[in-house]
Amino acid sequence: MENGYCLALQQRLQEKILRGVNLYVILSAIWIGVALASIDGSIVANILPMIGTEFHRSNEMIWVATTYVLSFASFQPLYGRISDIFGRKSTYLFTLFLFFIGSIMCGIANDMWTLIVGRALAGIGGGGLGVMNSIITNDLIPLKDRGKYSGYANIFFTVGGIMGAPVGGFIAEAVGWRWCFFLNVPVLVAPLYIATVHMWNYNLEKEADQQEETGTTTVWRQLSKIDFLGAALNLASILAFMTACSIGGNTRPWTDSVVIGLLMTWLLLTLLFLYVEKYKVALPLMPWHVITQHTVLACSAVCFFVMASNFANTYMIPIYYQALLNYTPVMCGVFVVMRLAGGTSGILFGGFYMSRTKEYRKYMIVNGVVQLVAMASICFWTVATPLWVSIPGMAIEAFASMSITSSALLAMLAYSKDKDSAVTTSISYLFRTTGGIIGLSLSQAIFQAVIKSSLEQRITDPDLQWVIDVARKSMTDVRDLVPAEMLEIVLDAYQAGIRCSFIFCMAAVIVTFAGVLCVKHRSL
């Protein structure tokens, strides 16, 4: 009886929000946004070695990857509060506009820093596309069916990811990598039209009534509700860590005072962020009463470490195929499609499984074991590893990784109150993207440090120091630029760096599994 009443209430709420518009018209707009974010991520991961080579800064290409994720992570938690204050429609349109401007800037960039600024703007917008998908879906769909609709959304994620890697590689080779970013622009027309014409700020109706009664709410009061201080501290802490990883073992030794100072700054800012979130803001990014719940905290840790390994693998695997095995971006894209398909299949299958069984904990544990085994096999990849071993291995690892990620979010929502669903979703994305940045930064730092150390140990002739520079800055051109007798040394260094990065990913996977074991079950 109670379930029937809740379903009827949810149905009336859905009809009120839609105002006669078909449900799938609204969902298609936000799902296209998910596809755009997927395309953008898979394209960049595949063409990153090419971009670094063109600008002769392959050893600094971490900034192109992490700037997007940094802005993505830092602003993403704000969208839950922003959409509560300014409305779902206004916030979604804002994210689309920023993604549009950022994509154009990336396409016209003639230097690394213009590209980085464009990636930052695209990241601010892209972070909102993912969050608004979850928030609007939560508004429209009952909890018991959200896993299924999350699966539908990830069909678009799959199409975007599958298109991004091979099509991006083909475009980059045919007309240049810039057109990979211009690809986003025409796709944005449909969601912009649907959001403008058919969406409205339905969540503001109740607040508007309250404002009419009191007459006290102003734009400034609305803005003051947003935790900009927490967002700034989070951004600054991650930036300090990322900078330390970028220069540590690369341009400066890890024992250098600047690197140590940056790491200390990261630690202090992180502690200050936690203090501010607990004591100093009325509507924090990470409400203490939410994050301190046992399962929410465990799932947040799971999101952090599973995405640390996932992001690191996303950018290291194309380097393995292109720099070490000398595959073209197109062929690498074809291989990476299998990983993307594996990851998205994990989300799709998990969504339908949890919607049908109303259970997530056992599913998380099984996938945790699968991920451990698959990641262990990846750690043993060499130049002699056949494709029939490497491709299924990375696809299975991605399946397990993304299955865990999607089920962790559902577990967090199961332990949260309805009024906290938007901020709980934002917390999930905060930990995912922060973990992804730190995992990517550390894996790239390890990779560059091992390459530099290995080459400096084996190439001691002062007249051949330029080989080290070329090997680190122009990875996809080493076979054309490096003497034949030096090439094996360079490739050995690449293999050592890649393996050490994969071992780091294995450590993150182990911690992920420990977190999964701490998750409690609640029937959906």
Q: What is the CATH number of the domain that holds 295?
A: 1.20.1250.20
Give the pLDDT of residue 162: 65
**Alpha carbon 483 to chain centroid distance?**
38
pLDDT greater than 50 at residue 368: yes
pLDDT greater than 90 at residue 282: no
Neighbours of 58 (CB within 10 A): 26
CB 433, CB 69: distance < 8 Å: yes
Same domain (yes/no): 348, 405: yes
Same domain (yes/no): 97, 179: yes
Least confident of 52-66, 176-190, 265-279: 52-66
User: How many angstroms separate the CA atoms of 471 and 492, rounded?
Assistant: 11
CB 55, CB 114: distance < 8 Å: no
Give the pLDDT of residue 371: 96
Same domain (yes/no): 476, 362: yes
Three-class SS state of 252 = strand
Give the pLDDT of residue 2: 47
Same domain (yes/no): 193, 234: no
pLDDT greater than 60 at residue 472: yes
What is the rounded (10 degree) CA torsion for 60, 443, 74, 347?
A: 130
Average pLDDT over residues 314-328: 87
CA angle 232, 240, 495 (to 5 degrees): 135
Give the pLDDT of residue 60: 66
Q: Is the CA virtual torsion 228, 230, 236, 242 positive or negative?
A: negative
pLDDT greater than 50 at residue 355: yes
Please tell me the total count of domains within the chain: 2
Same domain (yes/no): 250, 349: no
* pLDDT tens sequence across 140-186: 877 667 667 776 776 676 667 667 767 777 788 788 888 888 888 88
Least confident of 1-5, 51-55, 299-303: 1-5
* pLDDT tens sequence across 112-136: 888 888 988 988 888 788 788 888 8
CA angle 259, 443, 425 (to 5 degrees): 100
252 strand-pairing partners: 248
Least confident of 80-89, 212-221, 254-263, 323-332: 212-221
* pLDDT tens sequence across 21-54: 778 888 888 888 888 877 776 677 677 777 877 7
User: How many angstroms separate the CA atoms of 124 and 133, rounded?
Assistant: 15
Query: 88-108 vs 78-86: helix axis angle to the nearest 10?
Result: 130
pLDDT greater than 70 at residue 216: no
Q: Is the CA virtual torsion 400, 402, 405, 411 positive or negative?
A: negative
Give the pLDDT of residue 207: 58
Same domain (yes/no): 417, 321: yes
User: How many angstroms separate the CA atoms of 40 and 104, rounded?
Assistant: 12
Q: Is the CA virtual torsion 199, 205, 207, 208 positive or negative?
A: positive
Same domain (yes/no): 289, 188: yes
Same domain (yes/no): 156, 179: yes
DSSP secondary structure letters along 470-518: HHHH-GGGHHHHS-HHHHHHHHHHHHHHHHHHHHHHHHHHHHHHHHHHT
Residue 142 lies in a domain: yes
Confidence band for 396, pLDDT divided at 50, 70 and 90 = very high
pLDDT greater than 50 at residue 1: no
Same domain (yes/no): 30, 113: yes
User: How many angstroms separate the CA atoms of 403 and 285, rounded?
Assistant: 25
User: How many angstroms separate the CA atoms of 497 and 490, rounded?
Assistant: 11
CA angle 340, 344, 348 (to 5 degrees): 165
Same domain (yes/no): 257, 128: no
Residue 208 lies in a domain: no
CA angle 394, 397, 400 (to 5 degrees): 150
| Enclosing domain of residue 345 | 2-198+220-227+281-517
Residue 156 lies in a domain: yes
Assigned token pair, 390:
């490497």
pLDDT greater than 60 at residue 5: no
pTM for this prediction? 0.75
